[in-house]
Amino acid sequence: MGATLRLLRVEAGLSLRDLAKRIGVSSAYLSRVEHGLDAVPTPARISAIARELDIPPTLLMDVAHRVSPFMASYLEQEPEAGQLFLEIAQRQLNRQQLSRLRQLLNAEFPSRESSRDEPPATLASLLTPERLVLQLSCANLDDALDVAAGRLAPACPGMGAGELAARLRQREEDVSSAVGNGVAVPRVFQTERPALATLVTLARPLQVETPDGLPLRLVVALMGPERGRSSLMQLAHVARLANQGLADQLAGAQHPHEVFQRLQTMEPLG
């Protein structure tokens, strides 16, 4: 949670002091959270952070593993909702049926966030088979960034792979892209270009500094406009997937279609 929060804050252009002041805490406390030295914030505080970052609170709660307390609070207020959840489970609704149910909810009972609470673009929608690199053997993170830049370059006329790689490395020096669970999410900004991604799985884990001490096994390089709500949501979404075991799910994938199939089971319902 801390590493992801730091990435989101930096990308939003907020200093540690700015965000702390906005949510009514000390910068020392927020620094401890970002460095994993303090407990994960409460759901109320996570909601406050999400509002300042202009992303849906539930997205940040997923990253923080705070969805269950959020739901528990709601069930205390509306006990009958628990029966509805039970009926959904008893009917064993599949992905398509749950998608239809969500569409009904959105039509009949719009979110309080209105249309701004739309889900982020799925990771699968940002990828193409050409931008998947599976089982890469490399000596360090810079090598993986070079490969990712090479796959991003064809979508950036006028900018070579070398410049993209340099930007990724510079960004990495400014703030680590490791979000834990074996995943790093480096970013490169490119105005007037649609958001896209490159995904690299590693044949051998890299021993680099990570927030949870686990070795790096997966790199998801994102490219898109700078400091926009959509880019923050994409970053938080990939961090959520990391918490849900993205590196484990893709570790054995040998072909692009396997990656897309496994992502389909993990991405939010459409």
* Beta-ladder partners of 223: 188, 196
Residue 129 lies in domain: 123-266
Residues 159 and 253 in one domain: yes
What is the spatial distance between Cα 33 and Cα 136, in angstroms, rounded to a whole number?
Answer: 33
What integer pLDDT is reported at residue 5 of this predicted model? 92
What integer pLDDT is reported at residue 96 of this predicted model? 77
What integer pLDDT is reported at residue 183 of this predicted model? 97
Residue 153: inside a domain, yes or no? yes
**Residue entry with tokens 């966030």:** 113
Enter the tokens of residue 139.
Answer: 């000596």
Per-residue pLDDT of the chain (270 residues; tens, 9 = 90+): 899 999 999 988 899 999 999 999 999 999 999 988 888 888 888 889 999 998 888 788 878 775 555 666 677 788 888 888 888 888 888 877 887 887 888 788 876 554 445 667 899 999 999 999 999 999 999 999 999 999 999 988 778 899 999 999 999 998 999 999 999 999 988 777 788 999 999 999 999 999 999 999 999 999 987 767 888 888 999 999 998 899 999 999 999 999 999 998 888 654
Dihedral (CA of 256, 257, 258, 263) sign? positive
Residues 49 and 84 in one domain: no
pTM: 0.81
| Tally of domains within the chain | 3
Residues 262 and 128 in one domain: yes
Q: How far apart, in Å, are the Cα atoms of 13 and each of 63, 226, 227, 255?
A: 20, 10, 7, 38
What integer pLDDT is reported at residue 59 of this predicted model? 81
What is the spatial distance between Cα 249 and Cα 267, in angstroms, rounded to a whole number?
Answer: 12
What is the spatial distance between Cα 52 and Cα 55, in angstroms, rounded to a whole number?
Answer: 8
What integer pLDDT is reported at residue 268 of this predicted model? 65
Residue 135: inside a domain, yes or no? yes
